[in-house]
Amino acid sequence: MAQKPSIPKGTRDFSPVEMAKRNYIFNTIRDVYALYGYRQIETPAMENLSTLMGKYGEEGDKLLFKILNSGDFVAKTTDEELLGRNSIRLTNKFCEKGLRYDLTVPFARYVVQHREELQLPFKRYQIQPVWRADRPQKGRYREFYQCDADVVGSDSLLNEVELVQIIDEVFSRFGIRVCIKINNRKILAGIAEIIGAPDKIVDITVAIDKLDKIGLDNVNAELLAGGLSQESVEKLQPILTLSGSNEEKLESIAHVLADSETGLKGVEEVKFVLGEVADARPHNEVELDLTLARGLNYYTGCIFEVKALDVQIGSITGGGRYDNLTGIFGMPGLSGVGISFGADRIYDVLNQLELYPEDAVGGCRILFINFGLREAKQCMAYARKLRTEGISAEVYPDSVKMKKQMSYANAHGVPYVALVGENEIKEGKLMLKDMVSGNQQLVSIEEVVELLNKS
């Protein structure tokens, strides 16, 4: 007996309905990116390992999917090397390419490689799958999509303003209520400086990032365990418990950071972005959140994170400002800022809230029943007419029992069925059946076009 086929753990098949939903997400994001002047690029699924290795840290390197060289890749390997079983050394000899881990490093490679062709600032978006050899678990896959947008070659904070507006517009179109959180790496650096622990910025931010999850007392305990003095932890308390409007928070934190030039620079940057965004009257809440501390090894300015308000789920969008995207490839000093939408989590949120528009997941609008060759020929002519009007139509290919054809229509959620028999052909009309109400009416093809364009 043949073994039942399967797919690798951490990967998924997508049905036509699921693909319709996913394409609705990708197309919505794509349309908004284009609306703001971002231009699409694509990079290969595989990159040279020399491009990928060392860019994600030691743990990230372990999660890279590596591709065996073509041909007899063992031929140039000695028996001593094989018997030594040094997997890292052997992998380096056997593999020269790997699947991309994210879209950021390939984008950096792209910018450096095509630098002479690019006009700065360069605004790009990219919607493609990435692969990670991670342990699969709920909500974590080995293959998933990222939907990134970045602008490089510009230090202007107007880029941050536009990215917040893009986030707001995308979720407004989806109908998802979100809170767009913003912070700044310079503010966090200023906080560490003011409490007398500038070398502990990572420990401090990792701890305060958990404030919502573990509470203030546990955060304080973690800070003390991480080597902060009691005095430093006490100085941090007014910052951790900061509340009020964005303006009140900015005023308070500016007062706290009065002696930190770096911290005040961060306050000014956030104040500008929040002010410009507020003038544009966003649909969603935009909040200054001083506990937001994602990507500190990478981000150097504003940091963004988006939380859904009506569903318990992690961050569904994130991003921030960075200063050295291309430095890893020998081209230092190119500043940029970007965001990435979490397509898989957005998919889950839209499913839970049942926010997909009906036409986003609908397929064929009308199915023509096949009564035989002569009738099918007329149905094909009608279907061509509908398609020229932009209405999706399908003719059942086989002349089988009507029950089977109707079951097909029901299974695919087709809203209308057309019956064209001998009498209908003589009259130059068709019998149109509404599959929801069950009502039938004898109509011309022109009337079908008018009806379906209205519905």
Question: Do the annotations mark residue 132 as ligand-binding?
Answer: yes
Single-letter amino acid code for the residue at 194:
I
**What is the distance between the alpha carbons of residues 412 and 15, in angstroms, rounded to a whole number?**
12
**Whether the Cβ atoms of residue 338 and residue 151 lie closer than 8 Å to each other:** yes
**What is the distance between the alpha carbons of residues 97 and 302, in angstroms, rounded to a whole number?**
34
Question: Do the annotations mark residue 299 as ligand-binding?
Answer: yes
Q: Is 311 exposed, middle or buried (CB count within 10 Å of its CB: 0-12, 13-18, 19+)?
A: middle
Question: Do the annotations mark residue 103 as ligand-binding?
Answer: yes
Question: Do the annotations mark residue 104 as ligand-binding?
Answer: yes
Two tokens at 370? 């096949």
Question: Do the annotations mark residue 325 as ligand-binding?
Answer: no
Q: Is 115 exposed, middle or buried (CB count within 10 Å of its CB: 0-12, 13-18, 19+)?
A: middle
Report which of 419, 434, 436 is spatially closest to residue 368, judged by C-alpha positions.
419
Query: Hey, which bits of 309-415 come out as E strands?
Result: 317-322, 336-341, 366-368, 393-395
Two tokens at 186? 């310079």
Report which of 6, 11, 60, 47 is spatially closest to residue 344, judged by C-alpha positions.
11
Report which of 247, 252, 238, 342 is spatially closest to residue 288, judged by C-alpha positions.
247
Two tokens at 397? 């290919």
**What is the distance between the alpha carbons of residues 49 and 62, in angstroms, rounded to a whole number?**
12
**What is the distance between the alpha carbons of residues 318 and 388, in angstroms, rounded to a whole number?**
42
Q: Residue written as tokens 């028999």?
A: 421
**What is the distance between the alpha carbons of residues 234 and 238, in angstroms, rounded to a whole number?**
8
**What is the distance between the alpha carbons of residues 312 and 290, in angstroms, rounded to a whole number?**
21
Report which of 326, 257, 394, 455 is spatially closest to residue 55, judged by C-alpha positions.
326
Question: Do the annotations mark residue 298 as ligand-binding?
Answer: yes
Binding residue positions: 102-104, 132, 146, 150, 294, 298-299
Binding residue positions for L-histidine: 102-104, 132, 146, 150, 294, 298-299
